[in-house]
């Protein structure tokens, strides 16, 4: 990418040496990573995938452009416009940089090969994290160019304000990237290597938890009276700012320096460390039921395979993190207004329940084929063709039973207690039918064997635009449901019964399509294995 085209002259070498980096080995590693990326063996880093990074930049460019033009048209003041967009763009940048830094430092698979080479930790870490600079050079202009130019329409804006805005955005981006490196440096220093993956995934949720706390803590934070804790004089503010700056700089410097120590020595323990819950294989009654209903041992095998991998696979769990706001926000509304019946002729949080399940599955199904140990997909080539149909039904059984049926049984008891037996049972049946219809459609988004494909780095950054589009579609469905269906209990009951047959045939069609996709993807795996060998002419 961009960094592989930087001139490698003596001046650059002196700068690298001043930072404690071996220039020769640094550029050797950069060439190695570029070659691995070109051969599609190292796709997990966004900054090394030029096409994906450009697509994501244009997506954010369009998103921020529309939002900034709409807000600028409302005529806000400069004092509120620029800080708002700088904070928002920095948040989006951090949401990309944190998982990228985590994936580079906490999942260094190629480090197993390099651990015995004479490469110090600083050189290896610098080469690993160099792709963050490419992300900054693309995303900072993509996120901030239109807001900077749109600010010229505000009252009091001078011609040089866009230049100041872009300079401030770039400075904040550099600070954010350095802060991400320092954060994981402290983790590498203090967290045991086998536990580093689990700790890193907790850290990846911080930007999204901050977003949720900001939205739902606005009534709580004022009660803490932060103003009382802050200094009231100019001298006090100066001392506070000085101490804060010194502490931040010290944390940044020592955090980054933590990555230059014995990092490569710990690579083997980091890579083989656990990233999820560990459990002993044991008989499952639900698995027995799946085997009896959905097609025998292949269905049960698929059910147990997916059940265990969703909590263990590093890359899959990392891709789920951007879904946190989508899950937490409706859950807060439901907890707050759960006693209000949807049959009260008022719009309630309960009307969102079927679409919460549909929205979650809408984001989950496209992620299901991607995993860390994708090279193990060749094992499925050993299976006879007749098992793929029941295997597809086993995957569906996991999604339907564990993510729809069991949660609805729990919700049914809660709703019957809050609204009465008849209303609670009727709404739970309607929600179950609607969520099953969602799953029948969204099963077609599972594009291959679960956890059998290499992660596409652009998918994580697609989540925000995808969440916006999906939210708009679900909002339209909620409106149709509220104005047309929940006018009477009889209408809800009739719609619930009417959904049964379409859901059945839709699911059967999706299962056949899923089976075809599995066979197709396994055919590609078989073809790729043949491409490893080249005929030598003599």
- Of 457, 462, 453, 451, which Cα lies nearest the Cα of 362? 462
- Residue 535: band (very low, low, confident or very high) from pLDDT cuts 50, 70, 90: very low
Distances (CA, A) of 331 to 129, 219, 327, 334: 37, 17, 6, 5
Please say if the pLDDT value at position 438 is more than 60. Answer: yes
- Residue 436: band (very low, low, confident or very high) from pLDDT cuts 50, 70, 90: very high
Please say if the pLDDT value at position 305 is more than 70. Answer: yes
Domain segments of the chain as ranges: 8-271, 285-530
Long-range contacts, 421-429 (Cβ 8 Å, 24+) = 422/489, 423/341, 423/342, 423/343, 423/489, 426/489, 426/492, 426/493, 426/496, 427/342, 427/343, 427/350, 427/353, 427/492, 429/496
Indicate the burial class of 378 (C-beta count within 10 angstroms; 0-12, 13-18, 19 or more). Answer: middle
Claim: this prediction has a pTM higher than 0.95: no
Element (H, E) at 396: helix 388-397
More confident residue, 208 or 128: 128
pLDDT, one tens digit per residue, over 500-511 is: 889 999 999 999
Rounded to 5°, angle at Cα 116 from 111 and 120? 75
Element (H, E) at 181: helix 161-190
Spatial neighbors of 206 by CB under 8 A, at least 6 apart, are 98
Tokens of 493: 């009951």
- Mean pLDDT for 158-165 is 86
- Of 400, 396, 485, which Cα lies nearest the Cα of 435? 400
- Mean pLDDT for 471-490 is 80
Place of tokens 């901050």: 210
Q: What are residue 370's DSSP bridge partners?
A: 453
């Amino acid at each position: 990418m961009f960094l592989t085209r930087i001139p490698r002259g003596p001046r650059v070498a002196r700068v690298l040496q001043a930072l404690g980096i071996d220039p020769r080995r640094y550029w050797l590693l950069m060439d190695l990573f570029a070659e691995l990326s070109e051969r599609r063996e190292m796709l997990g880093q966004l900054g090394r995938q030029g096409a994906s990074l450009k697509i994501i930049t244009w997506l954010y460019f369009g998103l921020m452009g529309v939002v900034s033009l709409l807000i600028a048209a409302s005529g806000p003041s400069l004092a509120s416009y620029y800080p708002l967009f700088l904070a928002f763009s920095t948040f989006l940048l951090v949401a990309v940089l944190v998982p990228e830094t985590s994936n580079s430092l906490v999942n260094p698979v190629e480090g197993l090969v390099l651990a015995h080479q004479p490469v110090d930790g600083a050189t290896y870490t610098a080469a690993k994290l160099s792709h963050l600079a490419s992300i900054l050079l693309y995303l900072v202009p993509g996120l901030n160019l239109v807001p900077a130019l749109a600010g010229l329409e505000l009252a009091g804006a001078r011609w040089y304000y866009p230049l100041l805005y872009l300079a401030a955005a770039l400075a904040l981006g550099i600070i954010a990237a350095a802060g991400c490196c320092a954060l994981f440096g402290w983790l590498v220093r203090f967290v045991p290597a086998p536990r580093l993956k689990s700790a890193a995934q907790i850290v990846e949720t911080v930007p999204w938890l901050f977003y949720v706390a900001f939205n739902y803590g606005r009534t709580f934070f004022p009660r803490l009276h932060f103003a009382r804790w802050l200094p009231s004089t100019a001298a006090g503010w100066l001392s506070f700012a000085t101490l804060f700056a010194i502490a931040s700089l010290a944390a940044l410097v020592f955090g980054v320096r933590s990555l230059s120590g014995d990092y490569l020595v710990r690579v083997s323990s980091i890579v083989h460390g656990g990233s999820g819950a560990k459990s002993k294989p044991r008989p499952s009654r639900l698995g027995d039921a799946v085997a009896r209903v959905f097609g025998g041992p292949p269905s049960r095998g698929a059910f147990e395979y997916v059940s265990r991998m969703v909590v263990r696979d590093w890359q899959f769990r990392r891709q789920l993190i951007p879904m946190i706001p989508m899950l937490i926000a409706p859950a807060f509304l439901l907890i707050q207004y759960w006693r209000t019946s949807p049959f009260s002729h008022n719009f309630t949080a309960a009307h969102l329940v079927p679409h919460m399940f549909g929205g979650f599955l809408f984001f989950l199904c496209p992620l299901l084929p991607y995993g860390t140990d994708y090279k193990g997909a060749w094992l499925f080539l050993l299976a006879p063709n007749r098992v793929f149909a029941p295997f597809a039904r086993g995957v569906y059984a996991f999604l339907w039973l564990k993510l729809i049926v069991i949660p609805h049984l729990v919700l049914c008891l809660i709703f019957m207690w809050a609204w009465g037996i008849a209303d609670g049972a009727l709404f739970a049946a309607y929600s179950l039918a609607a969520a099953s219809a969602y799953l029948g459609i969204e099963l077609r988004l599972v594009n291959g064997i679960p956890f059998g494909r290499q992660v596409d780095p652009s998918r994580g950054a697609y989540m925000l635009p995808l969440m916006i589009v999906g939210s708009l579609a679900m909002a339209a469905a909620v409106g149709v449901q509220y104005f047309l269906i929940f006018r009477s209990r009889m209408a809800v009951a009739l719609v619930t019964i009417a959904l049964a047959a379409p859901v059945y045939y839709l699911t059967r069609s999706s299962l056949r399509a899923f089976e075809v996709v599995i066979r197709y993807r396994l055919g590609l795996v078989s073809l790729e294995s043949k491409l490893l060998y080249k005929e030598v002419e003599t």
